[in-house]
Amino acid sequence: MDNGMRDYILAIITTDLSLLQGGGCPVFLAKDATQQNKISMLLARILGANVHDLENGVYLIVKH
């Protein structure tokens, strides 16, 4: 089902770059929440992945 190392972050979408540091993952900067939502949705559809919310204004695209 979902055992082992199968989930990984494909992209990060945020409106505030100061919340992120380092990392080996593409980061998309959105102007506002609406745009952030839109970008996340499109990326998730393109990559066949899920959008997850860290509840601090950072969205992750995670492949399960």
Partner 1 sequence: MARWIMLRSDYRHYPTYPHGQLTHLALGFIAACLGAVAVPAIAKPDYVAVTFLVLAAQQFRDIRSMERDTLESLESTKLIRRGNDYIEGIARVFEARNYLTILTALITSAAVQIFSWPYALIAASICIYGSVKLMSGRKVGDIADIIPAQVHFNESLLMVDDVVIMNVGLEQTRNKIEKDGMGVLIKPKNDDARLTLDVPGQRMAIIHDVVSILGSKVDMNEMDLAPMARKQVDKGYLALFLVANEPDIQYLIEIVKRVPVLESAQGTALSSFYGKKAAD
Q: Provide, rounded to whole angstroms, the least separation between the CB of residue 46 and partner 1.
A: 8
Q: For residue 32, what are the contacts with CB-CB under 8 A and spacing of at least 6? A: 15
User: First-to-last CA distance in the chain?
Assistant: 10
| Smallest distance from partner 1 to CB 37, Å | 6
Q: Does 46 bind partner 1 (CB under 8 A)?
A: yes
Residue 37 interacts with partner 1 (CB under 8 A): yes or no = yes
Distances (CA, A) of 17 to 6, 10, 29, 44, 52: 27, 17, 7, 20, 17
Encoded one letter per residue, x for contact with partner 1 by CB under 8 A and - for no contact, window 15-34 reads --------------------
Q: Which residues bind partner 1 (CB under 8 A)?
A: 1-3, 37, 40-41, 44-53, 55, 59-60, 64
